[in-house]
């Protein structure tokens, strides 16, 4: 049974993984045996993240690049090609947030969120899939959605639109790439205690809303997402594709 979830011999790229949920996914996949490649845009955070994994016995490498920049993504994958590294698990986790009413929202801010939170998953996912198909290898693409893949919260319209797009992009990837034994799924985290959410956690009204709006009556923890990430990265999910699994304490299931 344990071999079903064993990621030994696999190579996983997790975008936006120098901190927050991305780092938790990276640690979880490393603990399951995968060789982990981190991504971020801040050299100091990258060094710290690699050091944290090394302290736990995991030798990770890292690449600093903007996931929404097609040329930058292609350059990194060409470097991996030259090193003989074939990524067969990717978690498209990189994301930003911009909280502002739409009536005041600038198009540039709308576009920036869509580029980082949605288009990047297409760019990186396509780079990975192209190489898996060329190698005749299967693999796993895991996109990170959100509760806002299903329901909207006021003042985060570009994030909501992007995460809704993530849900449907995941299905599109499944439709086109299942024939190549590439399973494409998504994880929809609930409200999780992360640095990106710190302003919300510290807001008493918002904190009360989160705790009163879901049946667990608490925020989720980053480590509570790891099991789903390992499952979707492993052979245990080889006949699962196009799905989004909400790790939300039952929030979306209840009125
Ligand atoms: C917000 C948060 C979101 C939530 C996520 C929950 O402002 O609503 O930043 O990122 O954490 O959508 O699924």
Q: Answer whether residue 207 is part of any domain.
A: no
Ligand 1 close to Cβ of residue 93 (< 6 A): no
Count structural domains, the chain.
1
Per the DSSP assignment, residues forming a β-bridge with 36 are: 12
Q: How far is the CA of 146 from the centre of ligand 1 (A)?
A: 7
pLDDT at 154: 97
Rounded to two decimals, the pTM is 0.97
- In a structure prediction context, what are the per-residue pLDDT tens digits for the chain, which is 255 residues long? 779 999 999 999 999 999 999 999 999 999 999 999 999 999 999 999 999 999 999 999 999 999 999 999 999 999 999 999 999 999 999 999 999 999 999 999 999 999 999 999 999 999 999 999 999 999 999 999 999 999 999 999 999 999 999 999 999 999 999 999 999 999 999 999 998 899 999 999 999 999 999 999 999 999 999 999 999 999 999 999 999 999 999 999 999
Say which CATH number the domain at 183 has: 3.40.50.720
Q: Answer whether residue 204 is part of any domain.
A: no
Catalytic annotation on 159?
A: yes
Give the span between the Cα atoms of 115 and 66, in whole angstroms: 10
Sign of the CA dihedral 214, 100, 70, 40?
A: negative
pLDDT at 196: 86
Q: Answer whether residue 142 is part of any domain.
A: yes
Per the DSSP assignment, residues forming a β-bridge with 164 are: none
Ligand 1 close to Cβ of residue 148 (< 6 A): yes
Q: Answer whether residue 43 is part of any domain.
A: yes
Give the span between the Cα atoms of 19 and 196, in whole angstroms: 10
pLDDT at 2: 76
Asked if residues 191 and 197 have their Cβ atoms less than 8 Å apart, the reply is yes
> DSSP for 112-153?
HHHIIIIIHHHHHHHHHHHHHHHHT--EEEEEE--GGGTS--
Domain enclosing residue 56, as ranges: 2-194+221-244
Q: Answer whether residue 56 is part of any domain.
A: yes
pLDDT at 124: 98
pLDDT at 1: 75
CA distances for 109 relative to 73, 113, 155, 156, angstroms: 22, 6, 13, 11
Ligand 1 close to Cβ of residue 251 (< 6 A): no
Q: How far is the CA of 156 from the centre of ligand 1 (A)?
A: 8
Q: Which atom of ligand 1 approaches the CA of 189 most closely?
A: 13
The protein residue with its alpha carbon nearest to ligand 1, atom 4, reads: 191
The protein residue with its alpha carbon nearest to ligand 1, atom 2, reads: 197
Output the CA angle 55-59-65, nearest 5 degrees.
110
Q: Answer whether residue 249 is part of any domain.
A: no
Q: Which atom of ligand 1 approaches the CA of 153 most closely?
A: 8
Which entry of 25, 159, 191, 246 is annotated as an active-site residue? 159
Q: Answer whether residue 226 is part of any domain.
A: yes
Q: Answer whether residue 168 is part of any domain.
A: yes
Ligand 1 close to Cβ of residue 95 (< 6 A): no
Give the span between the Cα atoms of 164 and 94, in whole angstroms: 15
Ligand 1 close to Cβ of residue 164 (< 6 A): no
């Amino acid at each position: 049974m344990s071999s079903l979830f064993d990621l030994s011999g696999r190579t996983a790229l997790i975008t936006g993984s120098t901190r927050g949920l991305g780092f938790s996914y990276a640690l979880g996949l490393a603990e399951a045996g995968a060789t982990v490649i981190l991504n971020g845009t801040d050299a100091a955070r990258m060094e710290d993240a690699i050091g944290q994994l090394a302290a736990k016995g995991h030798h990770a490498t890292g690449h600093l690049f903007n996931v929404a920049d097609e040329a930058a993504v292609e350059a990194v994958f060409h470097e991996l090609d030259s090193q003989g590294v074939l990524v067969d698990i990717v978690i498209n986790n990189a994301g930003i947030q911009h909280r502002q009413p739409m009536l005041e929202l600038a198009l540039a801010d709308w576009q920036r969120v869509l580029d980082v939170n949605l288009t990047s998953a297409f760019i990186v996912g396509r780079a990975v899939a192209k190489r898996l198909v060329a190698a005749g290898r299967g693999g796993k693409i895991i996109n990170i959605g959100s509760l806002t893949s299903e329901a909207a919260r006021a003042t985060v319209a570009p994030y909501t639109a992007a995460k809704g797009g993530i849900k449907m992009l995941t299905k599109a990837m499944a439709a086109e790439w299942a024939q190549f034994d590439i399973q494409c799924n998504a994880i929809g985290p609930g409200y999780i205690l992360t640095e990106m959410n710190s302003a919300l956690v510290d807001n008493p009204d918002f904190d009360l809303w989160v705790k009163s709006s879901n049946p667990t009556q608490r925020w989720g923890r980053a480590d509570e997402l790891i099991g789903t990430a390992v499952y979707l990265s492993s052979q245990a999910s080889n006949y699962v594709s196009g799905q989004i699994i909400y790790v939300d304490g039952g929030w979306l299931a209840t009125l």
